[in-house]
Amino acid sequence: MSAPVRRTGGRSAAVLSSIRFAVEELVRERGAEKVTIPLVAERAGVNPTSVYRRWGDAATMLNDIATYRLDPARELPRTGDLRADLIAWCREIVEHYRKPINAALLRGGSASAGEQETECLRNRRAEGLAIAGEAGALDADDIIDGLVGPIVYRAIFLPWTLDEDLPVRLVDKVLAA
Amino acid sequence: MSAPVRRTGGRSAAVLSSIRFAVEELVRERGAEKVTIPLVAERAGVNPTSVYRRWGDAATMLNDIATYRLDPARELPRTGDLRADLIAWCREIVEHYRKPINAALLRGGSASAGEQETECLRNRRAEGLAIAGEAGALDADDIIDGLVGPIVYRAIFLPWTLDEDLPVRLVDKVLAA
């Protein structure tokens, strides 16, 4: 019996990073709907099996890679001014999806959504609640319906409307209601 | 020179109907992301060329077929009670996307969104404005951010939350803001 293979963080992090790079390049070149796991594996120089093992299918892979840049461990705006913090947080999300590659990945990933809540959505809701929930100002539905939902909807269907005023407009509406 | 071929509404309507039926069957069987134009043409018994000519690619086809049931020529709720009319209209959209086939088609179609406004979105916004715009109660952004966006976002990412209370909750929020 051989000892179990030890995976170093360094090596698997490098593999993951080359897969992400390959996905982003291929989405730019061909559009999200034409990106397949064999293509990604070839471009990244990894075995397709390890891509399948991690994500199962191309849509799940896109969904995951679409959102890793909004690192859930990043620092949130917490100045104590609820309105300003919410606006700053929405701005981050809007800025994220103003990048065509992120919007394309979101669209590609939405094809695989619907059977369970995505990690990304869970993270955004937790962040929104961390900013506004303690104060009792907003609940999870307010955050989904008033902030995350409209931003993501526009990113998918009306990306040219993700303008600078959007965060202020949404936050003022959700705080007024 | 031969006379141009005359297309009767009856024949092309029948072809369209068999294509729609084939798409819905295939989405149910395999999931939207595995539905291709050749598969649809074969199942519908039509020439793939005529499917390509009409929609160009599978995602555009799905996008179009996802929404034809919300016929823009149907009658809108217009009792004169703005709140009740908006709630009834949102209920129709929620009911539409509570059907798993419609939500699956929406997800498949969202992959092709983003370069121009979809017919479906334009129709929903026009309907919302027809109900609430004249009264000066809501503008196009209110309808997108307050009603259509959250419903479609939930249909894509959180379909199990499309519950009966959602229309009332959204309409009351948008009218309060």
Q: State the pLDDT at residue B140.
A: 92
Whether residue A174 and residue B177 make contact (CB cut-off 8 A), yes or no, is yes
Chain A within 8 Å of B77 (Cβ-Cβ)? no
What is the CATH topology of the domain spanning A9-56? Arc Repressor Mutant, subunit A (1.10.10)
Chain A within 8 Å of B29 (Cβ-Cβ)? no
Amino acid identity at A122:
R
Residue A101 confidence (pLDDT) above 70: yes
Q: Which residue has the higher pLDDT, B4 or A13?
A: A13
Q: State the pLDDT at residue B2.
A: 45
Chain B within 8 Å of A114 (Cβ-Cβ)? yes
A-B CB pairs within 8 A amount to 106
Side-chain-side CA neighbours of A94 within 13 Å: the count stands at: 23
Lowest mean pLDDT among A147-151, A163-167, B17-21, B90-94: B17-21
d(CA B26, CA B43): 8
At residue A52, what are phi and psi to the nearest 5 degrees?
-60, -40
Whether residue B176 and residue A176 make contact (CB cut-off 8 A), yes or no, is yes
ipTM of the complex: 0.78
d(CA B42, CA A17): 41
Q: Where residue B102 falls among pLDDT bands split at 50, 70, 90?
A: confident
Would you say B138 and B128 are in contact if contact means Cβ atoms under 8 Å apart?
yes
Whether residue A154 and residue B169 make contact (CB cut-off 8 A), yes or no, is no
CB-CB neighbors (< 8 A) of A150 in chain B: 144-146, 149-150, 153
The pLDDT > 90 percentage for chain B reads 44
Mean pLDDT of chain B: 86
Whether residue A104 and residue B114 make contact (CB cut-off 8 A), yes or no, is yes
d(CA B70, CA B67): 6
Q: State the pLDDT at residue A4.
A: 46
Residue of A110, A13, A5, A94 lying closest to A58 (CA atoms): A110
Chain A residue with CA closest to B109: the answer is A111
Between the alpha carbon of residue B129 and those of residues B75, B135, B137, B155, B175, the distances in Å are 14, 9, 9, 22, 14
Average pLDDT, stretch A121-136? 84
What is the CATH topology of the domain spanning B10-56? Arc Repressor Mutant, subunit A (1.10.10)
Amino acid identity at A36:
T
Between the alpha carbon of residue B149 and those of residues A105, A107, A146, A152, B170, the distances in Å are 19, 15, 9, 8, 10
With the C-alpha atoms ordered B85, B86, B87, B89, is the resulting torsion angle positive or negative?
A: positive
Residue of B130, B132, B117, B128 lying closest to B150 (CA atoms): B128
Amino acid identity at B9:
G
Q: Residue ranges of the domains in chain A?
A: 9-56, 82-176
Based on C-alpha coordinates, what's the Rg of chain B?
18
Lowest mean pLDDT among A131-135, B23-27, B75-79: A131-135
Would you say A143 and A125 are in contact if contact means Cβ atoms under 8 Å apart?
yes
CB-CB neighbors (< 8 A) of B143 in chain A: none
Chain A within 8 Å of B128 (Cβ-Cβ)? no
Best of A105, A153, A160 to substitute, by most chain B Cβ atoms within 10 angstroms, is: A153
Angle of helix B58-67 versus helix B9-30 axis, rounded to 10: 100
Residue B8 confidence (pLDDT) above 80: no
